[in-house]
């Protein structure tokens, strides 16, 4: 190839892939389930994580998007996958007070004692007694 070639390069492909990943993380955070599911249907791996280890499920749960959480769980997203700080999607939803998401995650088998701090410890720390009751059912 000559130096003047205007065709795409590996760097262009990498930059496009990174931009797409960031757009998908934003979709999970901001509740754009249609965009996120379209790309997952096209083959983007459900295991995609941010540089901090936040899964798509973590981002959706932490930001209170139950329809996205439900869809990700239905696609096999790992319910107890912790990020690099040891936090789980369940603990994130408890911290933010999203009872509907907490119910969904616990129904899918999320372990309230997984992670650091665990969802149970987070619920106790923030006096979310109703959530602790969900864990004890």
Average pLDDT over residues 40-54: 96
> Which residues partner with 49 through β-bridges?
55
Q: Are 81 and 58 in contact (CB under 8 A)?
A: yes
The secondary structure element, H or E, covering residue 96 is helix 89-96
Q: Which two tokens stand for residue 60?
A: 């959706």
Q: What is the pLDDT of residues 74-116, one digit of tens each?
A: 999 999 999 999 999 999 999 999 999 999 999 999 999 999 9
Evaluate if residue 3 carries a pLDDT over 70: no
Question: For residues 29 and 7, what is the distance between their CA atoms, to the nearest angstrom?
Answer: 34
- pLDDT value at position 136? 84
Evaluate if residue 59 carries a pLDDT over 90: yes
Average pLDDT over residues 37-42: 97
Please give the CATH topology (third level) of the domain spanning 11-135.
1.25.40
N residues, the chain: 137
- pLDDT value at position 8? 64
Which of 74, 32, 29 is closest to 55 using CA atoms? Answer: 29
């Amino acid at each position: 190839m000559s130096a003047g070639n205007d065709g795409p390069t590996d760097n262009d492909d990498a930059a496009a892939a990174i931009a797409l990943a960031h757009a998908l993380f934003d979709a999970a955070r901001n509740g754009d389930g249609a965009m996120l599911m379209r790309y997952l249907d096209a083959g983007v791996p459900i295991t995609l994580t941010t540089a901090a280890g936040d899964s798509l499920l973590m981002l959706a749960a932490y930001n209170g998007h139950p329809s996205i959480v439900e869809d990700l769980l239905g696609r096999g997203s790992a319910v107890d996958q912790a990020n690099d700080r040891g936090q789980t999607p369940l603990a994130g939803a408890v911290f933010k007070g999203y009872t509907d998401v907490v119910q969904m995650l616990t129904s899918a088998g999320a372990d309230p004692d997984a992670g650091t701090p665990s969802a149970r410890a987070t619920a106790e720390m923030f006096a979310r007694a109703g959530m602790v009751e969900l864990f004890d059912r």
